[in-house]
Amino acid sequence: MMNEMRVDMEGRFQSLMTDAGAGRYLPALRAEGPRVDVCSHEDEVVVVVDLPGAEKEDISLRLVTPRMLEISAVQKGDMEDAQEGYYVRERMYGQMKRMIALPTEVKEEEARATFKNGVIEIRLKKAEAEKGSVISIE
């Protein structure tokens, strides 16, 4: 139940920010998690995510709903002497999870992902819109 509420709230916030135009161009409004690009093409949605320090086997992708993608990963790094000697420390390491609202419904079938140089690209086929039926008049 809590997970469903979190997914719903994340989706609503992302939709609000996207509708206002802020989510597209001001990624700094979202401080946690990796940076994401979402692009809608004619028949597919492409999601590109920066995951520096992650290994392919440490990444998990899940389509929570037809309009919500969950990405979780472990970003590894040198954490020895985490506080000693650093003037600035902004790079993040450890377990992370990110919910990504998609611009349209997609389907699990034919979904594919590639991972290279710390960047994952996920291609999701758009779900076909339900076509209404014709109602005859008698």
Q: What is the CATH number of the domain that holds 104?
A: 2.60.40.790
Residue 51 belongs to some domain of the structure = yes
Residue 72 belongs to some domain of the structure = yes
Residue range(s) defining the domain that contains residue 65: 2-125
pTM for this one? Answer: 0.68
Residue 32 belongs to some domain of the structure = yes
Residue 11 belongs to some domain of the structure = yes
Question: In 3D, which of 52, 55, 43, 38 has the Cα closest to residue 93?
Answer: 52
When comparing pLDDT for 93 and 18, which is higher?
93
What is the distance, to the nearest Å, from the Cα of residue 90 to the centroid of all Cα atoms in its chain?
21
To the nearest whole number, what is the mean pLDDT of the chain?
80
Q: What is the pLDDT of residues 34-56, one digit of tens each?
A: 889 999 999 999 999 998 888 99
Q: For 44-98, what is the HEC assignment? A: EEEEEEECCCEEEEEEEEEEEECCEEEEEEEECCCCCCCCCCCCCCCCCCEEEEE
Does the pLDDT of residue 29 top 50, yes or no? Answer: no
